[in-house]
Amino acid sequence: MIKLDKFAKIKEGKLKGFKKSQVSRNLELDYKTISKYWDMTNDEYINCTKQSKSRDKKVDKYKEIILGWIKEYRDISTAQIQDWLLERYDELDFKDRTLRLYVSDLRSNHNLPKEESMRQYEAVPELPMGFQAQVDFGEIWLERKNGSKVKVYCFGIVLSHSRYKFLWWQDKPFTTLTFIDAHNKAFEYFGGMPKELVYDQDRILAVSENAGDIIYTEGFQNYLDSAKFQVRLCRAFDPESKGKIEAVVKFAKYNFAKNRIFEDINSFNEESLKWLQRTGNKKVHEITKKVPKEVFTLERDHLNPVPNLFSSKTNNNSLPYIVRKDNTVNYKQNRYQVPKGTYRPGLEINLKTKDNKIEIIDIDTGEIIVSHGINNGKGKLIPIYHPERSKDKSIEEVYKKTALALGGTDKAIDLLDNIAKEKTRYVKDQFGLILKEIKKYEKEVIEETIIYCTERKLYSAGIFKDALVYINEKKIQTNDDKIYAPAKLLIPSKYKGLKPQNRDIREYVNSFKGDKEKWKN
């Protein structure tokens, strides 16, 4: 049942001549609900309300047990109540929404509001000057002049004592190298660095954290070894433990970045620095009631000096990029190929643009790995051109090698030409299989197989392989027949023409009788 005010608004909409669909949208009610009450009179609505209150509800049979749970566990959720009911009764004959409304009515009728667990906070004294800064990331979608959207990523850092801020934006996600570079820019902006920095457990700086035993990424660990500042990681999913920087990133996104037209990342960073001077660091902080810029003039002297090693070396034309598993580098929605074998997990290179060309540079050595012309399309693969590795040349070489291995006869050439014609896309694979298989057989078997296939027009490396097996087995069988054939015995010439003497059978009979008489005696 809907409440009386909703029913009245449905009737009002009908009287004004609105359609059911319009009333449904205005009141945010289902179209079927509007249809149910559309032609209902006031008396019918009152009777319907009375019936709904008087009739038994399906959940009533569980009332006492549900009420007991609510009284004992004031913070119990409806979802948990439903799970406990299913645990005891296997199946329920009502919908989730029915149970939610029923539990809500029970809490209201018995004055048992749900107790929400509330985290308790305690104000802490302000940290000393130059001791700590907090770091975090943010991201926001912006609009370009042409109406397209772009996501920009923000690195934010704030000094905990003065609330003096620094922001650095990118039009691509931060990597370990760009994260480190943002630190260098911040330290240059501050004119020093704090003794401790507070971070979230982000994958670009920490691999894992186990009860305080932190394993940092290799790049960030090298940076820490040289920078010498202390690191404190917040516990996972606990952003409130670094509330100062959370507020800064939110401030930057919605006071500076939101609704700003994005032209390019360099001008965006310039505008961001001006905003910091104009608003971000000049506006009175609502907690300290002081201007961050004014407090910072005192805090600056308490910062540690920045090692010369970290002086900014950023070239606006040179940016770090990740090498992907397929040995390509993504740049402006295209994939630029690097030599095979370049990829290693986590490998980054510098990408420098100059005179409509891209130079992909080894970060460690500074050597150019490969150069490409910039492609203005989207989603394209820009390959490395190897004139010495031309596909046609490669096929020609394997063709010559296979023809030579097959004896170079006219039949062999005819066989290869037809295979190349039949299997155009797989020529190298076909010839490679033939080269592999013929190593197992004698020259005679190979020659017979070539003839067998060409006569029957069987132009496939797979069939050629089977034919080799067939002809070789046939040859072996023929040889075995020769080995085990009956031997022809030759009679010496001096015995030729002689006939054996034939005895009378009676001689054998008389001899047998004589032997028999001896046995009797």
User: Is residue 520, in this structure, part of any structural domain at all?
Assistant: no
395/380 same-domain check: no
380/393 same-domain check: no
Distance from C-alpha of 326 to C-alpha of 312, rounded to nearest angstrom:
32
Instruction: Evaluate whether 338 touches 327 at the Cβ level (below 8 Å).
Output: yes
DSSP-derived secondary structure for 355-413: TTEEEEE-TTT--EEEEEEPP-SSS-EEPPP-GGG-HHHHHHHHHHHHHHHTTS-HHHH
**pLDDT at residue 284, rounded to an integer:** 84
Q: What is the CA radius of gyration of the chain?
A: 45
- Pairing label, strands 357-361, 368-373: antiparallel
- Please list, in sequence order, all residues whose beta carbon lies within 8 angstroms of the beta carbon of residue 150, skipping any fewer than 6 positions away: 141, 142, 143, 144, 171, 262
Alpha-carbon torsion (171, 176, 177, 183), positive or negative: positive
Range of the domain at 288: 132-310
411/378 same-domain check: no
pLDDT by 10s per residue, the chain, length 521 = 677 888 888 988 888 888 988 888 888 888 888 898 888 888 888 887 776 665 567 788 888 899 998 888 888 888 888 878 887 887 787 888 888 888 888 888 888 887 665 554 444 567 888 899 988 888 999 999 888 999 999 999 999 889 899 999 999 888 888 888 899 899 988 888 999 988 876 655 654 444 444 556 677 788 887 888 888 877 544 444 445 667 788 888 888 888 888 988 888 998 898 888 888 888 887 777 889 989 998 998 999 888 764 544 444 455 667 788 888 888 777 888 988 888 877 677 888 877 788 888 887 777 888 888 888 777 788 888 654 444 455 788 888 889 899 988 888 999 999 998 888 878 888 888 899 898 888 889 899 999 999 998 888 888 999 889 888 888 877 766 555 545 454 555 555 565 666 666 666 556 656 555 555 55
Give the distance, in angstroms, between the CA of residue 343 and the centroid of all CA atoms in the same chain: 17
| Of the candidates 278, 290, 220, the residue with the CA atom closest to the CA atom of residue 252 | 278
287/154 same-domain check: yes
Instruction: Evaluate whether 232 touches 160 at the Cβ level (below 8 Å).
Output: no
Burial of 395 from C-beta contacts in 10 A (0-12 / 13-18 / 19+):
middle
The DSSP H or E segment spanning 156 is strand 149-159
**pLDDT at residue 203, rounded to an integer:** 58
405/369 same-domain check: no
User: Is residue 350, in this structure, part of any structural domain at all?
Assistant: yes
302/341 same-domain check: no
Amino acid at site 492:
P
332/422 same-domain check: no
227/342 same-domain check: no
439/416 same-domain check: yes
406/466 same-domain check: yes
**pLDDT at residue 511, rounded to an integer:** 62
User: Is residue 493, in this structure, part of any structural domain at all?
Assistant: no
Cα dist from 474 to 68, 436, 470, 477, 485, whole Å: 89, 21, 6, 5, 17
Identify the domain boundary among 310, 334, 362: 310
| Of the candidates 276, 273, 271, 225, the residue with the CA atom closest to the CA atom of residue 248 | 276
91/193 same-domain check: no
Identify the domain boundary among 289, 310, 331: 310
The whole model's pTM is what? 0.41
Structure tokens at 157: 């850092």
| Of the candidates 187, 194, 193, the residue with the CA atom closest to the CA atom of residue 311 | 187
- Please list, in sequence order, all residues whose beta carbon lies within 8 angstroms of the beta carbon of residue 363, skipping any fewer than 6 positions away: 177, 320, 348, 349, 350
Total of domains in the chain = 4
Identify the domain boundary among 74, 109, 144: 109
User: Is residue 511, in this structure, part of any structural domain at all?
Assistant: no
Cα dist from 102 to 63, 65, 466, 480, 515, whole Å: 9, 13, 76, 92, 124
Question: Residue 229 belongs to a domain with what CATH number?
Answer: 3.30.420.10
Structure tokens at 184: 């260098």
What's the half-sphere exposure (Cβ side, CA atoms, 13 Å) at 394? 11
User: Is residue 70, in this structure, part of any structural domain at all?
Assistant: yes
User: Is residue 416, in this structure, part of any structural domain at all?
Assistant: yes
User: Is residue 121, in this structure, part of any structural domain at all?
Assistant: no
Strand partners, 150: 142
274/356 same-domain check: no
User: Is residue 123, in this structure, part of any structural domain at all?
Assistant: no
Distance from C-alpha of 445 to C-alpha of 407, rounded to nearest angstrom:
12
CA angle 87–91–97, rounded 5-degree value:
95
